[in-house]
């Protein structure tokens, strides 16, 4: 890479241009303001000359007119072009109105005195000054402008060129890569020990590090080092953390940047930054390049062309494709990237030879959540009785980032309550706070509305307890929380597959709130907004995605490539669309009638549970056991998410709430 930028012509060219401009204007100005002796005597006789400053050695004099004469001259010259450099006149004294060139000084003085003697009303005064040397003035002016330009160059221009200091630092280096370099000077503290869970992903990533450290181990057998590794997974699962661990373990130069760092308003900047990034990485080979949120530039080409497309983004992507697998890409540079939108990435980017490996970073399972808790709880002052396995069971579906947030929120709750250490209840309160929102005990609710909310929540709890495949309920509250008037906490079963019967039971339990209102009050309210939204989406998925409907058959209209979002039409006919709507409505209404039947048969238990809710405002699993007895079905134990020994502690709160909202507001699931 040639670092010789050559001679910078900016500074001398600008100085020469300004000097030429200044001199030409100065000459024009002098030509315009020069007068001869006859003109001077005429002006003097007319009483228009106020002062004359005579320079003996140069045979020149400065003429200063009276105010009236100046006004007359100004009126005549209105509309004429003004010298643009006149604003930069730095003479401290008054500026002469004209310059007089005289021949013999003695003759000039005699004529001057004679005119004053002939006309006593003339008040023109004369004085003498030191002679003006044109070359001296010219030199002074030139030095002044050179000093100005030097200041501009070294203080402003050079700072911009260097890219440092301030928002304007990238003006002249806009095509340079913005990647932050981590090497032996910038030591990263994160290692694989700090990455809990993600065992499969860690193994593959560790192999990438080994590729760079011991490349001969693989290449001697004829293998090639992978060009790229793509980390895919939901937000918060630890993709960026894995990359940081790679940077901390690799002991090779690590370039880190975001996909948005390539995007700029200027044409060609993105492609230029890609070239500069890979040039820097090749110069420090072996090296790793990490691009976070690569979907910002890696989106499939050709999408949205009906609006003109995004040529600049596509040019950036094209350059990235060329750099990753084009001519001359035989250096030990591995590209790592992270995204949670792998479905929209360009197929050319995903092929073998570019991103050879795609590592899926999934949500943590039970034992992985326990490991994540171990990492985050190490910095927190804990109560000795804290059971990490219990906390892991209380957080199904939580990502690593969510667990970190729970730990932090628990510490804040403990501090707010004046505790010396963080207790189990602090963690449970933190989970409630994160999922349901802030508790609003002072919210004004009518007694009739409170009673309706109690029966609504009791309806959810009743059906979830009496149907086989519904998630076991842990806690119910009618205390307003967030934007909701009530909430229920369930412990969903951690399963990989879901049957039709399981989905139907979940639909029935979700509709239990509205069914309870219909059973008790004979009418329904708008409080089931979130319930209806959830069952509609679930029933729609059963019919159109999972093929769980007998009439529609084994057909799925799901498009995993993500192309469907750009289509204006539907992948089925109008007749099929009508049939789909009918089947969705049929599924929901069937489960609603089922819920009504269950609640009608157990109306006494529903009343008892609602009474407990109105009395205590918050009830737990043991309260349901008092009313209904032991649950007839134990959940399937896939990975001990709800084990028998966990049942002893299920009197506490649990995430994944089903919330009943205020009628006018949307709801949480």
Kindly list the catalytic residues: 457
113 within 8 A of 137, measured Cβ to Cβ: no
- Give the Cα separation of 391 and 454 in Å (integer): 28
- Give the Cα separation of 211 and 402 in Å (integer): 33
DSSP category for residue 481: B
For residue 99, the cross-strand partners are 34, 62
Q: Which tokens in the block code for residue 373?
A: 């808790």
What counts of helices (H) and strands (E) characterise the chain? 24, 15
SS3 assignment, position 599 = helix
DSSP category for residue 110: H
Q: How far is CA 370 from the centre of its chain?
A: 30
- Give the Cα separation of 605 and 613 in Å (integer): 12
Question: Shortest CA distance to 228 belongs to which of 351, 318, 342, 361?
Answer: 351
Please identify which residue in the block is written with the tokens 């649990």.
Answer: 654
Element (H, E) at 651: none
Q: Which stretches within 222-268 are classed as H helix?
A: 239-250
Please identify which residue in the block is written with the tokens 């020994």.
Answer: 645
Alpha carbon dihedral 436, 437, 439, 444, in 10-degree steps, equals: -100
- Give the Cα separation of 567 and 305 in Å (integer): 12
- Give the Cα separation of 31 and 18 in Å (integer): 20
Q: In sequence order, what are the residues at sequence separation of 6 or more whose Cβ sits closer than 8 angstroms to the Cβ of residue 500?
A: 542, 548
Question: Shortest CA distance to 313 belongs to which of 253, 345, 375, 267?
Answer: 267
Taking the chain, what is the end-to-end CA distance rounded to the nearest angstrom? 56
Alpha carbon dihedral 552, 555, 559, 560, in 10-degree steps, equals: 130
Q: In sequence order, what are the residues at sequence separation of 6 or more whose Cβ sits closer than 8 angstroms to the Cβ of residue 251?
A: 184, 213
617 within 8 A of 585, measured Cβ to Cβ: no
Angle between helices 134-151 and 10-33 (to 10 degrees): 140
Q: Which tokens in the block code for residue 402?
A: 């969510």
For residue 470, CA distances in Å to 12, 138, 460, 512, 588 come to 81, 94, 10, 11, 16
Return the half-sphere exposure (C-beta side, CA atoms, 13 A cut-off) of residue 311.
4
- Give the Cα separation of 584 and 564 in Å (integer): 21
Length reported for the chain: 669
């Amino acid at each position: 890479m040639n670092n010789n930028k050559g001679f910078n012509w900016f500074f001398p060219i600008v100085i020469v241009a300004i000097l030429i401009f200044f001199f030409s204007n100065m000459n024009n100005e002098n030509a315009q303001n020069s007068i001869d002796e006859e003109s001077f005597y005429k002006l003097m006789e007319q009483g228009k000359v106020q002062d004359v400053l005579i320079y003996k050695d140069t045979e020149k004099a400065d003429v200063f007119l009276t105010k009236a004469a100046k006004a007359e001259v100004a009126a005549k010259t209105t509309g004429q072009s003004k010298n643009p450099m006149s604003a930069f006149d730095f003479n401290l004294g008054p500026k002469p109105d004209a310059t007089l060139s005289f021949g013999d000084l003695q003759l000039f003085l005699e004529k001057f005195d004679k005119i004053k003697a002939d006309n006593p009303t003339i008040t023109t005064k004369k004085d003498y000054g030191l002679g003006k040397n044109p070359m001296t003035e010219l030199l002074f002016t030139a030095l002044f402008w050179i000093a100005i330009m030097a200041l501009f160059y070294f203080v402003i221009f050079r700072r911009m060129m260097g890219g440092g200091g301030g928002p304007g630092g990238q003006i002249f280096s806009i095509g340079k890569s913005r990647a932050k370099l981590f090497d032996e000077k910038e030591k990263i503290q994160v290692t694989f020990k700090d990455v809990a869970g993600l065992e499969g992903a860690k193994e593959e990533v560790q192999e990438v590090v080994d590729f760079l450290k011991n490349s001969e181990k693989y290449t001697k057998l004829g293998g090639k080092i992978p060009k790229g590794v793509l980390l895919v997974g939901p937000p918060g699962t630890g993709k960026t953390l894995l990359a940081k661990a790679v940077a901390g373990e690799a002991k090779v130069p690590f370039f880190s940047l975001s996909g948005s760092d390539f995007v700029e308003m200027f044409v060609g900047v993105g492609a230029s930054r890609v070239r500069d990034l890979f040039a820097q990485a090749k110069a420090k080979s072996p090296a790793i390049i990490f691009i976070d949120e690569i979907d910002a530039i890696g989106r499939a080409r050709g999408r949205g062309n009906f609006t003109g497309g995004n040529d600049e983004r596509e040019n950036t992507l094209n350059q990235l494709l060329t750099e990753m697998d084009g001519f001359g890409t035989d250096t030990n540079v591995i590209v790592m990237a992270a995204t949670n939108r792998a479905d929209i990435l360009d197929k050319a980017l995903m092929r073998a030879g570019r991103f050879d490996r795609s590592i899926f970073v999934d949500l943590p399972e039970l034992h992985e959540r326990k490991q994540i808790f171990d990492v985050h709880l190490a910095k927190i002052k804990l109560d000795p009785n804290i059971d990490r396995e219990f906390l892991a069971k209380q957080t199904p579906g939580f990502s690593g980032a969510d667990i970190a947030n729970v730990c932090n929120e628990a510490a804040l709750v403990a501090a707010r309550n004046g505790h010396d250490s963080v207790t189990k209840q602090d963690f449970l309160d933190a989970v409630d706070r994160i999922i349901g929102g802030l508790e609003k005990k002072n919210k004004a609710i009518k007694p009739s509305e409170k009673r309706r909310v109690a029966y609504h929540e009791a309806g959810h709890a009743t059906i979830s307890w009496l149907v086989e495949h519904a998630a076991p309920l842990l806690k119910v509250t009618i205390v307003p929380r967030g934007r909701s008037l009530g909430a229920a906490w369930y412990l969903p079963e951690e399963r990989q597959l879901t049957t039709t019967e399981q989905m139907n039971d979940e639909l029935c339990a979700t509709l239990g709130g509205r069914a309870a209102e219909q059973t008790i009050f004979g009418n329904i309210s708008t409080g089931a907004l979130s319930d209806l939204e959830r069952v509609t989406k679930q029933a729609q998925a059963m019919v159109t995605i999972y093929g769980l409907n007998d009439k529609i058959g084994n057909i799925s209209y799901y498009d995993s490539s993500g192309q469907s979002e750009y289509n204006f039409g539907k992948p089925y006919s109008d007749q099929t669309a009508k049939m789909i709507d009918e089947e969705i409505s049929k599924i929901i209404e069937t489960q609603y009638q089922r819920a009504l039947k269950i609640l009608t048969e157990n109306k006494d238990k529903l009343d008892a549970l609602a009474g407990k809710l109105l009395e205590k405002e918050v009830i737990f699993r043991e309260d349901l056991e008092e009313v209904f007895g032991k649950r007839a079905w134990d959940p399937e134990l896939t990975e001990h998410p709800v084990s028998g020994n966990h049942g002893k502690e299920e009197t506490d709160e649990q995430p994944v709430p089903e919330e009943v909202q205020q009628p006018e507001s949307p709801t949480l699931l």
